[in-house]
Amino acid sequence: MIFTRNPLNPILKPEPAHDWESYAAFNGSIIKTDEGYSMCYRAMGEEIMYSGKKLRLSTIGIATSKDAVTFENRSLFIKPEEPWELFGCEDPRVVHIDGKYLIFYTAIGNWPPNASGIRVAVAISDDMKTIRERHLVTPFNAKAMAMFPEKIDGKYTVILTANTDIPPSYAAIAQFENFETLWDEEFWDKWYHDLKTHSINLRRINSDQVEIGAAPVKTPQGWVLIHSYIKHYTSDNVQKEFRIEGALLDLQDPKHIIGRIEKVLLSPEAPYELEGQINHVVFPESALIENGKIHIYYGAADSYCAVASADLSEFMSRFEIGTPTTIKCEKFSYNPILKPIQEHKWESKAVYNPAAIQLGETTYIVYRTMSEDNQSYLGLAISSDGYHIDERLPEMIYPLRSEYELPKRPGQYAGVEDPRLTRIDDTIYIMYTAFNGDLPRLAMSSISVQNFLDRKWDTWTHPVIISPPNIADKDGILFPEKINGRYVFLHRIEPDIIIAETDHLDFEHGEFLGSIGKITPQKGTWDAVKIGVNGPPIKTNEGWIVFYHGISQIDRHYRLGVFLLDLYDVTHVIARAPYPVLEPEMYFEREGIVNNVVFPCGQVVKGDTIILYYGGADKVVCGATLSITKILDYLNRSLTKKYLVAP
């Protein structure tokens, strides 16, 4: 940790003599003025009856300083006056632009606070002594807005966190030419409609939260963005971890992240950060660069204001450049694409975990279903473009025949689960989990391409069990071509992905898959508990792209990752993405038969685009896309680290 806490911390404490700030004074935002420095900060008094509610009212105080550390002349600066801020004004961020001071803050319009009443407002001052006007900025749920201190390409530019209280949240950029657009509701409605296109991806895992901290500070290398990173923000029964981190944004295109400091700049350690209104909190509100140093002003334990400093050159040299933190799939905006059909008993409870294969220009999606008596079957949906469903068959396409698929007891979970499809020459091979209620086994069957197209489902070969006896085995895939003259499989014997190969595909004589290697979970990461392969590998000039799912030790969510295998030695993992590319975020991915699951079993490739089909919460079928070029670039760049060389 390169930042050193100021020995005078906390630089602001609650002031018992002022009833409006007798309980807390925190989250201070500093600005340099002609007379020295001013700091706006969030203040709270003791509980009172206010507008018929018992609460601690948040207001914004102001203090002045000659040295940016010792503050005096504390006074109440902004208090609720408008209906949209009736229940509080929180967490100010100050910027000076066009000869005026803008104080952005969180306006609380209802109590108890909820998303509909938590929005961004702005107050405008000419002298940091009086407020001449104020406006509600966002008509939607948002917090933590800050304006860049100068125009970029002739436009005012702000950065904010949208949907802070209705996850998933997004850190995002907005730009406009006219100053009054800042509070133009029509502008913001249109901007919010296309929120994802304005976002910048600072979040690594969907259960974490990013909130913009300080207004960006300009350096020759880029805009320094100091922000809050809260781990496990949406995870149940896990303590949140508040951190302060840094990113570097392009000077001309602030949506482009040039670099990032992966290590934490500050985490709660000092006594005043560990104990207060909310324990174990550090939260940045402003940053100041002066005399070769960078200073971060932050709230401590939601009770105090503090500052920490670092040598600017050393700080800048810590930025990793050229290595994107994350890459994410683009989900279909109209998900889910398949839902259960109550009139079809065999798919009335759930449809999920789909395989896919492209024959000619047509995409065939073979999906798992579940009946009300918990039996799993396979259905088929057909798409001419890969994005929209043109036809969905009313009957199942794969008969249950094996003793390993039939339930031993009525109502028991059993059947044909989680199919994967691989075409080799004129044959389509299907691998799936055969489950009779006791032990999941890996099964394989096949059908000719022509019979599949002709819908002759009675020509599926009798399934054979290919996994070893007395071992739970799932998530099997077959590579689409021989490697070094041998067929290669990936499958999951918990907690690892097992790599196997064989000279033939005839398992009729009691042969089972062996092992030539394995890929293991990564300790302390999002896939620490267990992993399993998803769709069949995708061949590229640089290696086999393989999607896999992992389960977190922290929240047990199912997420999707990706790694790259050597073309000729599949036991060699060339690269592995450090963070997931697909996560459960939408309500139909978070709530279902099994909550918090995204689980693809197949994909098709159209040009440079991979179209993934996945199950959401073991209930519905969804779609998402990802670029092959971007995946390979991301994987290759994740192999090495380059650091910014600051002058």
**53 beta partners:** 50
Q: How far apart are CA 347 and CA 327, in angstroms?
A: 34
Residue environment code for 539-573, b if the CB has 16+ CB neighbours within 10 A, otherwise e: eeebbbbbbbbbbbebbebbbbbbbbbeeeebeeb
Q: What is the pLDDT of residues 189-230, one digit of tens each?
A: 999 999 999 999 899 998 899 999 999 999 999 999 999 999
Q: How far apart are CA 246 and CA 264, in angstroms?
A: 8
Model pLDDT, residue 643:
80
Instruction: Judge whether residue 646 has pLDDT over 60.
Output: no
Instruction: Judge whether residue 173 has pLDDT over 70.
Output: yes
Instruction: Judge whether residue 640 has pLDDT over 80.
Output: no
Q: How far apart are CA 75 and CA 73, in angstroms?
A: 6
Phi/psi of residue 635, each to 5°? -65, -45
pLDDT classification of 323: cutoffs 50, 70, 90: low
Q: What is the mean pLDDT of residues 74-79?
A: 98
CA distances from 99 to 128, 144, 149, 576 (A): 11, 22, 11, 49
Instruction: Judge whether residue 174 has pLDDT over 70.
Output: yes
Q: What is the mean pLDDT of residues 231-246?
A: 90
Q: How far apart are CA 618 and CA 523, in angstroms?
A: 26
Model pLDDT, residue 114:
96
Extract the tokens encoding 626. Answer: 């990802």
Q: What is the mean pLDDT of residues 451-475?
A: 96
Model pLDDT, residue 509:
77
Q: How far is CA 172 from the centre of its chain?
A: 14
CB 591 within 8 A of CB 618: no
Model pLDDT, residue 238:
84
Model pLDDT, residue 632:
96
pLDDT classification of 324: cutoffs 50, 70, 90: low
Instruction: Judge whether residue 524 has pLDDT over 90.
Output: no
Domains of the chain: 4-321 (2.115.10.20), 330-637 (2.115.10.20)
Q: Give percent of the chain above pLDDT 70.
A: 99
Q: What is the mean pLDDT of residues 405-415?
A: 91
Q: How far apart are CA 304 and CA 316, in angstroms?
A: 27
Residue 602: enclosing H or E segment and its boundaries?
Answer: strand 598-606
Cβ–Cβ contacts within 10 Å for residue 81, how many?
12
Residues whose CB is less than 8 angstroms from the CB of residue 543 and which lie 6 or more positions away in sequence, other chains included: 564, 565, 566, 567, 574
Q: What is the pLDDT of residues 479-516, one digit of tens each?
A: 999 999 999 999 999 999 999 999 999 887 778 999 99
Model pLDDT, residue 569:
97
Q: What is the pLDDT of residues 100-128, one digit of tens each?
A: 999 999 999 999 999 999 999 999 999 99
Instruction: Using alpha carbons, select from 138, 32, 38 the residue that is nearest to residue 78.
Output: 38
Q: What is the pLDDT of residues 564-580, one digit of tens each?
A: 999 999 999 999 999 99
CB 89 within 8 A of CB 60: yes
Model pLDDT, residue 641:
75
Q: How far apart are CA 528 and CA 74, in angstroms?
A: 50
Q: Give percent of the chain above pLDDT 90.
A: 91
